[in-house]
């Protein structure tokens, strides 16, 4: 009763000048930065006031304000001042008794924003302690939490770990300048949102599993620019969960990514489509999996992808393109019209994210360094892919004693049509630089491959490929093996010469 009366009294005291300016300071309606009070009721009251007034700004001033779940409303900006910390409650029950509600929600709203130089802190370590406590005493249900994962931790289900931001079916969304950190699940989940601007944000979260930096799910007309991601799962991830939806008309530029999964990824959820995706100027470092991953495994149509100017250092894989069939209810999708250019990648000999708090899991089998790959399915080709101005340096030393099978035995490479897509899914591959199978209209132009360490494998293998165009391929430090192997390749065009440091020969 006291808190309700206090809110009413506080609202009456909001000074008229502040009200007229459209800015509501949460302290004026009762919020306190004492490290104890859950301020969700006060923050929500400020949001509701701004919404009823037709719009306005809810200001989080300097200080640390603990909060539970809040819901943004149309025409409301949540602004975090410099020095402001919006700290997620460490009490799991405030996110609901069942599936955990996200911390900041907006559903079906128009013109919503989160801005400012402040911080949204998921308080993941403390919240996880309370989750385990509830699981142990039976006040929270979870059928999987006692199963140890690859990180030798008990893993509560994703539904029991709150996301930090969740917007669904919102139009005109702005996320700008904020820092977001210490989550326990996806950091940001935007679903079926349109006309979005995400600019100059920082996301740092290696707290626990499933810490994707940002997930754009079936979103349209998005600009994501000038942002930084250092996360335990995929950095920038586009997904499609709606068979009738798609990620479409998305522009990503000038971002820096560190990931213990893939840096820039389309998939794994891939039911609808990914269309008209443009990427410019991405820097990747210390990333466990692929710098660029394009995956359709649930029936999605992926087309008109244009990625340029990507630099990746200390990254496990350069480019991974996969058309698979995980969804048993639909035929395979389609990957076509992909253009990737001006890419420079350094693939190390060791584990690229070693030492990070939630580094990627160790492979369950011995292997040599993994090549880049473009892989379709029998009868379902990846089509019209152009790679131009690609520079990949492989620092590992391949050893036959670790893993080896003759390149003539290509039938040994499994299809794994229904498996989770990732660059290591096929096990050891017989190529050292690129392995391409079940594809059509493949063009490699001006490509430089440098084996800093020794590798006994042929750099390029093409298997079941139609309309292959190769020109200006430069391979440095390759052993005396065929630079290229063609198996069941129709209509190849090998322009210019294949170069190595030691020899200048045309290999067909």
As a whole number of angstroms, the distance between CA 479 and CA 476 comes to 9
Residue 268 scores a pLDDT above 90: yes
As a whole number of angstroms, the distance between CA 194 and CA 81 comes to 26
Residue 170, by phi and psi: left (phi above 0), alpha (psi -120 to 50) or beta? Answer: beta
The whole-number pLDDT of residue 361 equals: 85
Closest C-alpha among 181, 236, 178 to residue 207: 181
As a whole number of angstroms, the distance between CA 302 and CA 384 comes to 11
Residue 16 scores a pLDDT above 50: no
Residue 82 scores a pLDDT above 80: yes
As a whole number of angstroms, the distance between CA 194 and CA 190 comes to 9
Residue 308 scores a pLDDT above 50: yes
For 161-203, the pLDDT digits (tens) are 999 999 999 999 999 999 999 999 999 999 999 999 999 999 9
Mean pLDDT score of the chain, rounded to an integer?
91
Beta-bridge mates of residue 149: none
For 434-478, the pLDDT digits (tens) are 999 999 999 999 999 999 988 999 999 999 999 999 999 999 987
Q: Does residue 94 or residue 16 have the better pLDDT?
A: 94
Q: Confidence class of residue 396 from pLDDT cuts 50, 70 and 90?
A: confident
Tokens 């639909």 label which residue? Answer: 330
User: Residues 6 or more apart from 411 whose CB is under 8 A from it?
Assistant: none
Tokens encoding 486: 């063609």
Name the 3-class secondary structure at 41: helix
The whole-number pLDDT of residue 71 equals: 98
Tokens 């490509």 label which residue? Answer: 447
The whole-number pLDDT of residue 143 equals: 79
DSSP state of 26: G
As a whole number of angstroms, the distance between CA 484 and CA 497 comes to 11
- Phi, psi at 16, each rounded to 5°: -65, -35
Residue 150 scores a pLDDT above 60: no
Q: Where are the alpha helices (DSSP H) in 66-159?
A: 124-137
pTM assigned to the model: 0.93
Residue 6 scores a pLDDT above 80: no
The H or E element spanning position 6 is: helix 2-13
Residues of the chain with pLDDT > 90, as a percent, come to 80
Please compute Rg for the chain using Cα positions: 25
- Check: CB of residue 322 under 8 Å from CB of residue 296: yes
* Average pLDDT over every residue of 141-150: 67
User: Residues 6 or more apart from 297 whose CB is under 8 A from it?
Assistant: 267, 268, 270, 322, 323, 324, 325, 326, 327, 333, 418, 420, 421
* Average pLDDT over every residue of 203-221: 96
């Amino acid at each position: 009763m006291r808190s309700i009366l206090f809110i009413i009294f506080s609202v009456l005291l909001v000074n008229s000048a502040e009200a007229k300016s459209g800015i509501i300071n949460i302290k004026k309606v009762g919020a306190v930065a004492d490290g104890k009070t859950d301020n969700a009721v006060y923050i929500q009251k400020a949001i509701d006031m701004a919404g009823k007034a037709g719009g306005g700004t809810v200001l989080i001033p300097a200080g640390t304000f603990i909060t539970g779940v809040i819901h943004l409303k149309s025409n409301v900006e949540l602004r975090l001042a410099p020095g402001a910390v919006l700290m997620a409650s460490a009490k799991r029950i405030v996110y609901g008794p069942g599936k955990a509600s996200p911390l900041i929600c907006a559903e079906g709203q128009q013109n919503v924003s989160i801005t400012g130089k402040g911080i949204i802190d998921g308080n993941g370590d403390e919240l996880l302690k309370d989750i385990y406590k509830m699981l142990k005493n039976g006040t929270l249900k979870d059928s999987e939490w006692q199963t140890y994962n690859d990180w030798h931790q008990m893993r509560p289900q994703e539904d029991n770990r709150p996301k930090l931001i969740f917007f669904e079916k919102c139009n005109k969304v702005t996320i700008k300048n904020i820092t977001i950190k210490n989550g326990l699940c996806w950091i940001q989940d935007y679903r079926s949102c349109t006309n979005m601007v995400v600019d100059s944000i920082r996301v740092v979260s290696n707290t626990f599993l499933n810490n994707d930096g940002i997930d754009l799910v079936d979103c349209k007309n998005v600009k994501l620019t000038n942002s930084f991601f250092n996360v335990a799962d995929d950095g920038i991830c586009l997904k499609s969960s709606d068979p009738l939806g798609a990620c479409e008309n998305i522009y990503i530029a000038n971002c820096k990514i560190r990931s213990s999964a893939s840096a820039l990824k389309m998939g794994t959820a891939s039911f609808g489509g990914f269309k008209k995706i443009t990427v410019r100027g991405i820097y990747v470092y210390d990333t466990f999996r692929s710098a660029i991953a394009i995956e359709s495994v649930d029936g999605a149509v992926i087309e008109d992808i244009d990625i340029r100017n990507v630099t990746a250092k200390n990254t496990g894989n350069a480019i991974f393109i996969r058309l698979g069939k995980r969804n048993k209810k639909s035929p395979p999708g389609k990957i076509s019209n992909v253009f990737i250019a001006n890419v420079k990648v350094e693939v190390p000999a060791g584990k690229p994210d070693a030492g990070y708090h939630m580094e990627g899991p160790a492979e369950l089998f011995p292997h040599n360094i993994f090549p880049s790959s473009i892989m379709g399915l029998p009868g379902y080709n990846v089509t019209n892919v152009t790679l131009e101005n690609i520079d990949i340096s492989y620092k590992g030393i391949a050893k036959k004693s670790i893993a080896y099978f003759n390149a003539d035995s290509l039938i040994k490479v499994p299809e794994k049509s229904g498996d989770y897509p990732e660059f290591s899914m096929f096990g050891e591959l017989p190529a050292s630089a690129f392995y391409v199978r079940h594809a059509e209209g493949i063009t490699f132009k001006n490509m430089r491959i440098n084996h800093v360490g020794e590798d006994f494998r042929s750099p390029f293998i093409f298997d079941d490929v139609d309309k292959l165009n190769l020109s200006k391929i430069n391979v440095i430090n390759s052993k005396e093996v065929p630079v290229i192997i063609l198996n069941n390749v129709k209509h190849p065009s090998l322009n210019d010469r294949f170069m190595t440091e030691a020899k200048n020969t045309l290999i067909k």
